[in-house]
Amino acid sequence: MDTMHISENPVQLSQAEREDLIASYPLFCLLNSTELHELALLAKEIHAKPGDVIVEQNAVIDRVYLIERGTASVTKTVITVDSKHDINVATLQKGDAIGLSAIGIYSQTGMRTAKVMATSQMTLLSIDMKDFHQFLQRPDVTYPALQNATEKILLMQFIQETHIFSNLKKEEMQHLAYGVKKIRVEKGSVIFNEGDLADKCYFILSGQIEISSVRNTVNSVVAVLESSCLFGEGAVLENGRRNATAIAKSDSELFVINKAQLEFLNQHNEVISAINEIRMKQIKPIPKKNVTVIHVVKPEGDKVALVCNQETTLRLYGMEKEIWEEINGINVLADIYNLKHNELNNLTILDLYQSVLKLKEMDLVTLQYVEMKFTHHIKYFVFVLKKRLKFWSKASRER
């Protein structure tokens, strides 16, 4: 998002002056008086002094500006093999816009193409992109191309602000924003049913999604997910079927990320690590009731777990045996990792998850999604912090 050093001061422009400024810009020539009035009400009056940075190059566009008074310089940073320098590309003045062109959004990528800095005292009207997009959705406002552009920019803005995707490069953000689909689902809509084949996952922009599953013929709610939650990705990554049903508890907006998009994210180590961390605190392995465990020690001293599931006897060795010992129907994966990562020095989140999947394939456990509690958020934050401090300390010693 833009790094702005400018501020809002007491209003100096009248409503009529705001409407005149908006009406004078070519893009808005089709708006009627009512629409001009409503758009002017959404605008905020901004004042800048010489040297104030209004927008930064390569930031995601989060608002657009119309200049009522003053001038600004537009500079672009050019990077070559052996140098980096700024070049002046334009001077803006009264009646010009920042972020807009005569036909729509100035940038085709959703990122600022240059830096804009005030060169005199300035008065501007600033329109937040979310407000602008909402205005464009009115049935009587006919700017379909502009509406689509603002939606993609909002997706990029949301991606940038979201923990899972915060480490993506700008090109990767663009790839994701222009590849995913946003849908609106009404309260009560079924997004997927337990047992369905999984070919996409979902990211909640707004609203609430209820996750439920049938346990002993009784349908029970296991989680209610809200904004910034990713769900449904597990079955996609495992090429499997849904282990729960997802229903919109309220009118909601979702990103739909298909399997190809998820595989693109799966190649990004920091993204998949963030996804795995979220899943670690949401997934609880539960041992099946028909399982009997017998620990035996071989003559050479190796400890083995004999697991009897109905008429089948299985031997667990190494990591699977160690993980199995901590599966009690209470611990989520994060708890198990916390208990075992010191004992098993090479244990990674991925190792733990794959071991649990192997136990699931052996029909020894089921995986249940749990509702996140505030206290659990704190415990997990401490757990992740300790893990990362340990990594940083190790890296520091190696240096």
Q: Which domains does the chain have, with CATH numbers?
A: 15-141 (2.60.120.10), 162-267 (2.60.120.10), 285-289+316-398 (no CATH)
Q: What is the pLDDT of residue 19?
A: 95
Q: What is the pLDDT of residues 351-361, one digit of tens each?
A: 887 888 888 88
Q: What's the pLDDT score for residue 238?
A: 65
pLDDT at 83: 79
Q: Is the pLDDT of residue 5 over 70?
A: no
239 or 203, greater pLDDT: 203
Pull the structure tokens for residue 205: 């922009």
At residue 334, does pLDDT exceed 90?
Answer: no
User: Which of 265, 286, 287, 292 shows the shortest CA–CA distance to 276?
Assistant: 265
Residue 165 has pLDDT above 80, yes or no: no
Q: Describe the strand order of the beta sheet including 72-79 as a list of residue ranges.
A: 53-55, 115-118, 72-79, 84-92
Average pLDDT, the chain: 81
The model's confidence at residue 385, banded by pLDDT at 50, 70 and 90, is very low
| Closest C-alpha among 190, 376, 177, 155 to residue 261 | 177
Write down the pLDDT at residue 17. Answer: 95
Q: What is the pLDDT, as a whole number, of residue 25?
A: 95
Please report which helix (H) or strand (E) contains residue 18, including its range: helix 15-24
Residue 227 CB contacts under 8 Å (≥ 6 apart), including other chains:
204, 205, 206, 207
Q: Average the pLDDT over 145-171 and give the result.
A: 76
Q: Residue 7: what pLDDT?
A: 57
Which segment of 121-125, 195-199, 384-388 scores lowest on mean pLDDT? 384-388
| Residues facing 256 on adjacent strands | 181, 202
Q: How confident is the model at residue 274 (pLDDT cuts 50, 70, 90)?
A: low
Q: How confident is the model at residue 263 (pLDDT cuts 50, 70, 90)?
A: low
Given this model, what pLDDT does residue 283 score? 80
pLDDT tier at 374, thresholds 50, 70, 90: very low
| Residue 46 clears pLDDT 50, i.e. is over it | yes
Say if residue 123's pLDDT is above 50.
yes
Q: Could you tell me the strand order of the sheet in which 245-248 lies?
A: 190-192, 245-248, 209-215, 218-225
Average of pLDDT values for 10-22?
A: 89
Largest Cα–Cα separation, the chain? 92
How many angstroms separate the CA atoms of 54 and 116, rounded? 6
Q: What is the mean pLDDT of residues 242-247?
A: 90
pLDDT over 60 at 209, yes or no = yes
Mean pLDDT, range 162-174, rounded to an integer: 71
pLDDT, one tens digit per residue, over 23-34 is 999 999 989 999
pLDDT value of position 152 = 81
pLDDT value at residue 37: 95
Q: Flag whether pLDDT at 58 surpasses 80.
A: yes
Q: How confident is the model at residue 108 (pLDDT cuts 50, 70, 90)?
A: confident
Whether the pLDDT of residue 307 is over 90: the answer is no
In degrees rounded to 5, what are phi and psi of residue 65? -130, 145
| Mean pLDDT across 201-224 | 82
pLDDT number for residue 272: 64
Q: Over 50: is that where the pLDDT of 69 sits?
A: yes
Tell me which residue of 93, 94, 95 sits closest to 28, measured CA to CA.
Answer: 95
The predicted-structure confidence for 72-106, as pLDDT tens digits, reads as follows 999 999 887 777 888 999 999 999 999 999 889 99
**pLDDT of amino acid 381:** 42
Q: What is the pTM of this model?
A: 0.59
Helices 269-282, 259-266: crossing angle, 10 deg rounding: 110
Q: What percent of the chain has pLDDT over 90?
A: 29
Judged by DSSP in three states, 15 sits in helix
Take residue 103 and report the two structure tokens written for it.
């036909």
CA–CA separation, 202 and 200 (whole Å): 7
pLDDT surpasses 70 at 155: yes
